[in-house]
Amino acid sequence: MYTDSLKDDSEFSVIDANGTTKSSQQIDVTGIYQIASDGRGGYFLPSELTSSLVHIDQKGKITRSKNFNVHNYINNQYGYQVTLFNTNVDINTLEIKYKNKIKRLNLPSFARMATFDSNHVYVFCDTESKSYIYVIGLRTGKIIRKILVKKGGADDMDIFHGQIVSPTFDANFLITLDSKNWKVQYRPLPHDNPDRMVADHNYLYVSTKEGYIMKLNQNYEVEKVTKSNPLILNMLVDKENLYVLSQIQSDQYAGYIITYDKNTLKMKQKISLPNIRDTLVQSFILLDQKEREEHK
């Protein structure tokens, strides 16, 4: 996903393992930084600068609509669509959609990020002086708990073995919240500024703003570390590999997707991503084999 933060210009491109563009579609929307599942084999492309929501269905049809407000987060699983809206400076809105029913909840703070499981939605919020994790009933849309944490600035959240995990800005630890007893713990890291994460069965991969990638076990012990490019935007994992997207600005390339062996963290491949107009690469997904065949 490529996008421009100033002009109504984005690009959804399918790129193979050699860095060759197989198909590409220009989208007249600004500020698309996320690719999210629609729960039906398609994708949502939410603008984080406008209320525009782009949808690509399973057959590749692209539609554009206006949503409630500017998006911070959207995802669809367990039959529920959860969206976090940046309503204004002091209030953000959580929307939970199930079939034709919509519940909205205003949160009196800046809601940075969310995630959810089959029972609860977890929202990381910052105020001027404090930070909280809100626990909200997925079915009721009501606040169950408001849990104070000692550090803010989380731009990512994930669920790892029943614990909600958040990296925070300018810290040397991860915040974990146990969904069984609501206990908060601070897990120390050997490198500062944790930023992005991806969970994979018994391991959690964490990157920092400086480009370090750490492989943590279930006890949050660091088993492997490698140094990648800085400006890591997101990471994905499959059966064999860890895939890391890094943004660069050069005359030749917009960024790289670097493939690592997920067990050893040894680099296997580096895919150069082409420049597309004045846009910057922002996010990526892995197409399954059927989707790859469709784009040949």
- The answer to whether 254 and 246 have CB atoms below 8 angstroms apart is no
Given a cut of 50, whether residue 80 has pLDDT beyond it is yes
Given a cut of 50, whether residue 293 has pLDDT beyond it is no
Given a cut of 80, whether residue 58 has pLDDT beyond it is yes
What is the rounded average pLDDT of the residues 170-187?
96
Given a cut of 90, whether residue 125 has pLDDT beyond it is yes
pLDDT at 110: 85
Beta bridge partners of 259: 243, 269
Given a cut of 50, whether residue 29 has pLDDT beyond it is yes
What is the rounded average pLDDT of the residues 96-117?
93
pTM for the whole thing? Answer: 0.93
Given a cut of 60, whether residue 292 has pLDDT beyond it is no
What is the rounded average pLDDT of the residues 58-72?
92
d(CA 242, CA 251): 27
Given a cut of 80, whether residue 160 has pLDDT beyond it is yes
What is the rounded average pLDDT of the residues 199-210?
96
Q: Considering the chain, what is the average pLDDT of its residues?
A: 93
What is the rounded average pLDDT of the residues 134-151?
97
pLDDT at 294: 43
- The answer to whether 40 and 22 have CB atoms below 8 angstroms apart is no
Alpha carbons within 13 A on the beta-carbon side of 15: 23
pLDDT at 291: 45
- The answer to whether 86 and 72 have CB atoms below 8 angstroms apart is yes
- The one-letter amino acid at 86: N
Dihedral (Cα; 29, 116, 282, 233), 10-degree rounding: 160
Per-residue confidence at 112, pLDDT binned at 50, 70, 90?
A: confident
Per-residue confidence at 108, pLDDT binned at 50, 70, 90?
A: confident
What spatial distance separates the first Cα and last Cα of the chain, rounded to whole Å? Answer: 18
Counting beta carbons within 10 angstroms of the beta carbon of residue 289, is it exposed (0 to 12), middle (13 to 18) or buried (19 or more)?
exposed
- The answer to whether 133 and 177 have CB atoms below 8 angstroms apart is yes
pLDDT at 91: 84
Q: How would you classify the pairing of strands 222-227 and 232-237?
A: unpaired
| Segment 253-271, tens digit of pLDDT | 999 999 999 999 999 999 9
